[in-house]
Amino acid sequence: MAEHQSDLLSPSAMKVQRALAAFDIPCQVVEMSETTRTAAEAAEAVGCDVGQIVKSLVFRCTGTGRPILVVASGANRVDTKKLGRLLSEKVKMAPPEFVRDKTGFAIGGVPPLGHTEPIETYIDEALMAYEEIWAAAGTPHALFRLTPDDLKKMTGGTLADIK
């Protein structure tokens, strides 16, 4: 696992490190030489189970256009019909430009915090089964380790069965 420490972080990864500090969560962003764009790649890079990877997925409600963030276990696929029932509104995966506009980050590196604007968030309840999890940190090469409780604290998200 090749990594860089926080004093050498790229601007997007540093933005995430600052957001973590603002929440007083002692997590350390690391940038890898390997890509961590997908859950499988991230799990391989840090040597954990794919289920321990937090996928930050942005959806757009089709009626209101509001963004919804789902932080899901890398092992799970989000059931958009189930999510839509939870929200009482149909949802679709958001296009890349919408994701960047609402979060400030590009797909493949969207973290669960530090977004351009507050985003209503749902947390895959499957993530609660792990002692530690790993989330994207602003780039397709950056991650940070955290606990499920840290995830709940930083996102203010609602636990949900999304698969």
pTM value is 0.93
Tens-digit pLDDT profile for residues 40-64: 999 999 999 999 999 999 999 999 9
Q: Rounded distance, CA 152 to CA 158, Å? A: 8
Hunting for tokens 């942005």 — which residue is that?
A: 58
Is the confidence at residue 123, as pLDDT, over 70? Answer: yes
- Six-digit token string for 15: 């933005």
∠ Cα 48 21 39 (to 5°) = 25
Share above pLDDT 70 across residues of the chain, in percent, rounded to a whole number: 96
Q: Rounded distance, CA 51 to CA 97, Å? A: 27
Q: Contact at 8 Å (CB) between 120 and 67?
A: yes
Query: What Rg do the C-alpha atoms of the chain give, in angstroms?
Result: 15
pLDDT band at 6 (very low <50, low <70, confident <90, very high): very low
Mean pLDDT of the chain: 94
Q: Which domains does the chain have, with CATH numbers?
A: 3-160 (3.90.960.10)
Measured in whole angstroms, the distance separating CA 21 from the mean position of its chain's CA atoms is 17
Helix (H, G, I), strand (E, B) or coil at 82: helix
Q: Rounded distance, CA 163 to CA 160, Å? A: 9
pLDDT band at 22 (very low <50, low <70, confident <90, very high): very high
